[in-house]
Chains A and B, each alone.
Chain A
Amino acid sequence: MDEQELVKRLRQGDKSALEAVIKLHHAFLVAMATPLVGNDLADDVAQETWLRAFAAIGKFEGRSKLRTWLARIAINEAHAMRRKTGREVSLDGWGSDTGSPIGARFNEQGAWDVPPTQWHHETPDELLTEAELYECIQKHLHKLPEDQQSVVMMRELGGLDYGEIARALNLAEGNIRVLLHRGRQRMHAMLNHFEEVGTC
């Protein structure tokens, strides 16, 4: 079912569509809310998000992806939850640059010592349909440093812009850009390893 069809059926209150959209995006909403409210409240934020989203699905205009629309609702719900519970989650140490994960692949002159190699897969679909690789991507996404993981989730999976992410995490946009780049570099290194060795 494509997204347009899914939204159409959500507007009709189709139970199987409601279950399908929860299956598609619940884990993402929980993962995104966790750094904002902590582990124990993240699921509550996701549930509040669903209640709001199902009530307002008629207003979803399809200008962004559904996942982006849900991510925006989830961030608002997380802020509301924080105000309600008086909960402050410490993000101390977030935003500092851990340095390039591929720094050792260059020589002193800054040229490639260990250059990238050709991959067997050329498109996202090819990469994501290989079960073992899909598992490996998920595993490594969760192994990223927390701040990089959070920014990668919000930007890549959630489709939020830099300003929205910076406000949600109370960091400067410059920090968000660095964290995103480092996260992407680590995920690239993981994919590269898989392409070279054939295992996670």
Chain B
Amino acid sequence: MLTCREMSELGSDIIEGDLRLSTRWAVFMHLKMCSRCTLYIKQLKLTSAVLQQLPLNTTAVDSAAILEKLQERDK
């Protein structure tokens, strides 16, 4: 029987579907009866999805200046 702490440690393997068959069963059983871990795993998955879509510092980049520099180098 997995504890909630162990479930939190398996979080990334759970959301990526990277579990051995025996562990997958134990995780499934735990999630069936633990709403707290279900919520934690759901939020960890959302965290990952947010990072995957995260644009990075778009305002700070002077793309015209970079493009000009690239065109100079390409000549």
Contacts and interface: CB of A to CB of B under 8 A. Distances in A.
A102 B8 CA distance: 9
B5 A110 contact: yes
Given A51-B74, A128-B54, A185-B11, A22 B61 contact: yes
Contacts of B61: 22-23, 26-27
A64 interface: no
B44 to A, nearest CB: 5
A124 interface: yes
Nearest to B7: A110
A181 B73 contact: no
A157 B51 contact: yes
Given A28-B56, A138-B57, A188-B43, A181 B11 contact: yes
Interface residues of B, number: 39
14 contacts: A24-B58, A27-B58, A47-B69, A106-B8, A110-B3, A115-B39, A118-B39, A122-B46, A124-B50, A137-B54, A157-B54, A177-B18, A187-B51, A188-B44
Given A112-B37, A116-B36, A124-B50, 17 more contacts: A18-B67, A22-B67, A26-B61, A27-B60, A47-B66, A47-B73, A54-B70, A106-B5, A110-B4, A118-B39, A124-B53, A125-B53, A141-B51, A156-B51, A184-B11, A188-B47, A192-B43
